[in-house]
Amino acid sequence: MSDNIIITFANQKGGVGKTTLCTLFANYLVAHRKKVLVIDCDVQQTISFRRKADLQKYMDVTIPYNIQPFNIANATNVQNLMTNLRKMQGIILIDAPGNLTQQGLIPIFVNSDYVICPFQYEVTSINATATFISFIYKIRAKLSEDVAQLFLVDNSHDKRFGKKEELDLWRMTAKRFSEYGYITPMVEYRAEMRRYTTLYLMKTQEAIISPAFDFIYNHIFIKGEKNGKE
């Protein structure tokens, strides 16, 4: 059975962890023997530059997956890219830039099976994420419920977080967001998360991301199969 699944990492809020989680999820999927391709649409091309640096540092490694930088300025080019990606075998991860005004983003969401949206439990991040969710919902309402299914990941979670008003905000937000997407287990704020490579998943990182990524993996590859999806 061949997989063709397109998963986009996005939020209109910048700096929430899209690039970090995209790279770590690519490493995680390879560890689960999945064939992966990363499309790097971030204007800063963080993942592509990181791969170059990784290859200079670790010369003799086997490349676990390819990373393709892509400029989304032209919507027609993006549409062509998405049409081609749909024909490919494997799991395609797209790292989106943190700016929803770019026209080229629409064909990305329209052609994504899943959208993984990292966010943080603080007011600006929650508001931007709510705007992003409603944007995705407009697309889904127009097209189909199978398009751009949302996973919301509480990333960089601070364990010290726990005053009553913080917990109230957390509960209220989780309840509201869960009407629109799956709330995954949280990913802690940890220094090890900053030291990722594009070549493999470190043991320490695996422990941090496993609850969230196992949740997503089970949903897409185990429950998804039962629903008749490949």
Ligand X SMILES: Nc1ncnc2c1ncn2[C@@H]1O[C@H](COP(=O)(O)OP(=O)(O)OP(=O)(O)O)[C@@H](O)[C@H]1O
Give contact residues for ligand X (rule: CB under 6 A).
14-20, 42, 98, 155-156, 187, 189-190, 193-194
* Residue 40 binding Mg ion, by CB under 5 A: no
Whole-angstrom CA distances from 28 to 35, 93, 172 are 11, 12, 31
Nearer to ligand X, 161 or 221 (CB): 161
Output the six-digit token pair for 99.
Answer: 């700016």
CB 210 within 8 A of CB 184: no
* Residue 45 binding Mg ion, by CB under 5 A: no
* Residue 42 binding Mg ion, by CB under 5 A: yes
Q: How far apart are CA 93 and CA 131, in angstroms?
A: 22
Report how many residues bind Mg ion under the rule CB under 5 A.
3
Nearer to ligand X, 17 or 107 (CB): 17
Residue whose entry in the numeric block shows the structure tokens 């919301």? 152
Choose which of 8, 11, 12, 19 interacts with Mg ion (CB under 5 A): 19
Q: Which does 209 bind (CB under 5 to 8 A by kind): Mg ion, ligand X, none?
A: none
Nearer to ligand X, 18 or 140 (CB): 18
Nearer to ligand X, 15 or 211 (CB): 15
Q: How far apart are CA 170 and CA 172, in angstroms?
A: 6
CB 140 to Mg ion: min, Å: 24
Q: In the beta sheet, which residues pair with residue 8? A: 94, 115
Whole-angstrom CA distances from 63 to 72, 90, 126 are 25, 16, 37
CB 153 to ligand X: min, Å: 9
